[in-house]
Amino acid sequence: MGNPRFFRRSGPFSLAVVASAARGVADEVELLLEGVAPLQTAGPKEVSFLDNRRYASALDQTLAGAVIVHPDMAARVPSKAATIVTNEPYAAWARVAALFHPVPPPSPGIHPSAFVADGALVDPSAEVGPLSVIETGAEIGPGCRIGPCAVIGGGVIVGRDCRIGAHVSLSYALLGARVYVYPGARIGQEGFGFASTKDGFLSVPQLGRVIIEDDVEVGANTTIDRGSSQDTLIGAGSRLDNLVQIGHNVVLGRCCVIVAQVGISGSTVLEDFVRVGGQAGLAGHLRIGRGAEIGAQAGLMSDLDPGAKVLGSPAQPKRDFFRQIATLMKMAKKKE
């Protein structure tokens, strides 16, 4: 895990340092740890974790030097392994993995093959990769990394410590701090807006922007259209998977999770902490209440109350959906 050919590694670290990074409590033993690995392959100098009880048998047999576990599972950790106890093992694992494999810092400077237009502002601590383009009026904040062949359009603002992947295009957009846009994403292009006339279609000018707040991640080849008459907004802490389509004027609240191949039509509003499963489709002009969960491949055509859980197409309450499936299965068996 974490092959050095591809992943930078730091350490080794003492058990105390690892436990501190995990925000957990560890045994008071002298132990130097060199990396992280799954329970099945971890060795005496590596840290592992258990978050899902289905893998408890792997815990019994692990050779890991230290294991991150919930207090309920601490007694099952083998005697040869140090125990790091926390109420959130998976979050602790994320922090420990980042300790051993930190994100490489930017290499400040502008590559000779990059084009930075007059009137663009690039902070001296930022990295601008080969063949990238920074257009007039764009601003690149401190600690940013702009990947190869990325295009940052005129007037775009990229906040501090952002990572913009290879071949990304940003236009009509304002990004907050620590935004990570994965390779190939397209942000700020015209939305799908037109008027129908007797002579054909008439394009409607898209005069809004895309506002992406702090700590958002936008997956590879995802597209976020700029607003038409108002801004498209992606709330702080949200996570968008690969191949997601966000239509014009869509508003996502804080910490929404949008899984791969989801399409959200224009002017739909998702309140805070909404989760949308893969390949789900949402009609336009809807309001999805706080904490609602929309299952994979659902087709949603009406508003949802806060906390609602729906599946199917057309989407319906989760309990009703499974009841119908069970009824159909019973009917099929009777016919046999």
Positions annotated as catalytic residues are 248
Report the SS3 class of residue 67: strand
Cα–Cα separations (whole angstroms), residue 254 to 34, 91, 119, 270? 36, 19, 33, 9
Q: In angstroms, rounded to a whole number, what is the distance separating the alpha carbons of residues 219 and 214?
A: 15
Tell me the CA distances in angstroms from 290 to 215, 293, 304, one per residue in order: 19, 9, 9
Measuring CA to CA, which residue among 18, 126, 125, 21 is closest to residue 81?
Answer: 18
Give the alpha-carbon dihedral of 302, 305, 308, 312, to 10 degrees: 0
Report DSSP state, residue 73.
G
Tokens 């050919």 found at: 5
Q: Please give the C-alpha separations between residue 91 and each of 50, 86, 95, in angstroms, as whole numbers.
A: 11, 9, 6
